[in-house]
């Protein structure tokens, strides 16, 4: 690696201080703090350590990254931007518009990113013709995670329809189990809503509502039906769901206390971290009614300009992230699938192989949609306003008719 040679030479010439971020370190702001997430992050840390680049960790706990984005804003405002930041969709575009991100075009050109990274990811990774972030993975949110032993014990087949899903959860409830493991946090409620809205109204509805922000569709009877389904799901969570972290909800499925969790495939990272095997200990399948669709989000590392252009360390980090071996090694642990479409996926497990194929098929057939809950359908201001409505409804503050009206208003105010 050409960049590495330069780095090793400069590393000898630079003296370190214990407190400040040393010149050859990268400071990485991220929200990967659960067991599975941390295990995946270690793959990246080890890669950098193997190349003599230090890692200054800046974790900000909180699934979905809302808190991390607040901390980031404060850091940049005080003139102290981290080197690299885990970021999603429209947040990348927003920071690029502010001119805060380094230009990665030289590296991207050398490494042919235009040809190997799918267009859906380039939409966010490039701004005004410039590469501004390095995509590390592709996640998708319309998954169900199930305890296999419990399914077998209760005679539950993989649900194909909404009605099947309800029948399965009824069985779990009757058996004294938690039917739906869930954490009552706004981003988790919204994650469920991604799949429920897609299943209720189909892909055109989803796009019109969340991407095009069509007020008629946002205020439609179909949207009301989606909220009604959310209210139905609310009847299957346990009494202690409020505020629970997503990985603790996953643990309930892992331990056999709960039947299902509706969550993005980062949940798989928790199963793997607990030595569980897909197809044996747990099942993964698309939320019924969204078998053809993929609501995706892609974690990317945006490099903040640190003065002049992109630093050697930033370039190395970006190069490492896109390397084929790293893409496979990392995504095997994280639960996501590679951000490049040119890789041999045979090393991924069954859920990962399905995820990779689903992503490519949905991309080819026009069934790939950005996740509203994870910042890939609309900008943060609108997303957060939608979160508020979805959460208020889930907690019984609004009925479905009111929720629909509030959703329209939220979009009108923040558009
Ligand atoms: C998502 C992110 C995933 C996962 C999840 C829960 O927004 O894309 O990588 O970490 O949050 O923290």
- pLDDT tens-digit series, residues 49-108: 998 899 999 999 999 999 999 999 999 999 999 999 999 999 999 999 999 999 999 999
Distance CA 256, CA 379 (A): 37
Instruction: Ligand 1, residue 266: give the atom nearest the CA.
Output: 4
Strand, coil or helix: 67: helix
- For the CA of 297, the nearest atom of ligand 1: 8
* CA angle centred on 179, ends 175 and 182, rounded to 5°: 150
Which atom of ligand 1 sits closest to the CA of residue 65? 7
Alpha-carbon distance 168 to 172, whole Å?
A: 7
CA terminus-to-terminus distance, the chain: 45
**CB contact at 8 A, 165 and 256:** no
Q: How far apart are CA 30 and CA 192, in angstroms?
A: 23
Q: Report the alpha-carbon distance of residue 3 to residue 316 in Å, rounded.
A: 6
Q: Pairing state of beta strands 126-127 and 130-131?
A: antiparallel
Tell me what pLDDT residue 239 has.
Answer: 98
Q: Closest ligand 1 atom to the C-alpha of 264?
A: 5
> Residues 326-359: pLDDT tens digits?
999 999 999 999 999 999 999 999 999 999 999 9
Which segments of 244-323 does DSSP mark as H helices, in order?
A: 246-254, 267-273, 312-322
Predicted confidence (pLDDT) per residue in 362-372, tens digit: 988 999 999 99
Atom 4 of ligand 1: nearest residue by CA position: 266
**pTM of the entire predicted model:** 0.94
Q: How confident is the model at residue 321 (pLDDT cuts 50, 70, 90)?
A: very high
pLDDT averaged over the chain? 94
H/E element, 29: strand 25-30
Closest CA to 299 of 92, 16, 112, 5: 92
User: What residue owns the CA closest to ligand 1's atom 11?
Assistant: 64
Q: Where are the domains of the chain?
A: 3-138+298-361, 140-295+368-414
User: Does 18 score more than 70 pLDDT?
Assistant: no
CATH class of the 140-295+368-414 domain in this structure = alpha beta
- d(CA 54, ligand 1 centre) in Å: 24
Identical fold between 3-138+298-361 and 140-295+368-414: yes
CATH for 3-138+298-361 is 3.40.190.10
Q: Can you say how many angstroms the Cα of residue 17 is from the centroid of all Cα atoms in its chain?
A: 35
Q: Please tell me the distance between residue 269's alpha carbon and the centre of ligand 1 in angstroms.
A: 11
Residue in 266, 321, 335, 383 to alter for ligand 1 test, most ligand atoms within 8 A of Cβ: 266
Q: Are 268 and 144 in contact (CB under 8 A)?
A: no
Ligand 1 site residues (CB inside 6 A) read 31-32, 37, 63-65, 88, 139, 266, 297, 299, 374
Nearest to 71 by CA among 81, 57, 83, 63: 81
């Amino acid at each position: 690696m050409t960049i590495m040679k330069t780095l090793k030479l400069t590393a000898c010439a630079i003296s370190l201080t214990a407190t400040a971020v040393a010149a050859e370190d990268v400071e990485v702001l991220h929200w990967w703090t659960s067991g599975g997430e941390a295990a995946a992050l270690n793959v990246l840390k080890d890669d950098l350590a193997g190349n003599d680049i230090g890692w200054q960790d800046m974790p900000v706990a909180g699934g979905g990254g809302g808190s991390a984005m607040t901390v980031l804003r404060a850091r940049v405002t005080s003139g102290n931007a981290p080197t690299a930041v885990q970021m999603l969709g429209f947040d990348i575009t927003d920071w690029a518009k502010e001119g805060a991100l380094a230009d990665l075009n030289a590296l991207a050109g050398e490494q042919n990113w235009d040809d190997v990274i799918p267009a859906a990811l380039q939409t966010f990774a490039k701004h005004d013709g410039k590469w501004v972030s390095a995509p590390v993975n592709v996640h998708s949110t319309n998954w169900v995670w199930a305890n296999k032993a419990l399914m077998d014990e209760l005679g539950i087949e993989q649900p194909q329809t909404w009605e099947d899903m309800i029948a399965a959860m009824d069985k779990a409830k009757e058996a004294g189990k938690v039917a739906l493991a869930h954490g009552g946090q706004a981003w988790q409620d919204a994650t469920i809503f991604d799949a429920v809205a897609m299943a209720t109204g189909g892909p055109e509805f989803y796009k019109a509502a969340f991407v095009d922000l069509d007020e008629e569709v946002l205020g439609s009877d179909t949207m009301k039906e989606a909220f009604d389904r959310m209210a139905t799901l609310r009847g299957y969570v346990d009494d202690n769901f409020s505020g629970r972290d997503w990985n603790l909800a996953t643990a309930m499925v892992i331990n056999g206390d709960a039947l299902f969790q509706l969550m993005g495939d980062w949940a798989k990272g928790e199963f793997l971290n607990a030595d569980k095997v897909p197809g044996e200990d747990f099942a993964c399948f698309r939320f019924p009614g969204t078998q053809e669709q993929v609501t995706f989000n892609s974690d990317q590392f945006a490099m903040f300009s640190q003065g002049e252009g992109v630093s050697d360390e930033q370039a190395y980090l970006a190069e490492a992230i896109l390397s084929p071996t790293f893409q496979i090694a990392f995504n095997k642990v994280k639960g996501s699938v590679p951000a490049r479409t040119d890789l041999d996926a045979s090393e991924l497990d069954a859920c990962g192989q399905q995820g990779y194929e689903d992503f490519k098929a949905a991309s080819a057939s026009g069934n790939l949609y950005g996740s509203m809950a994870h910042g890939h359908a609309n900008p943060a201001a609108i997303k957060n306003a939608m979160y508020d409505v979805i959460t208020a409804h889930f907690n019984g503050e609004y009925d479905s008719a009111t929720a629909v009206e509030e959703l329209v208003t939220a979009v009108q105010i923040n558009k």
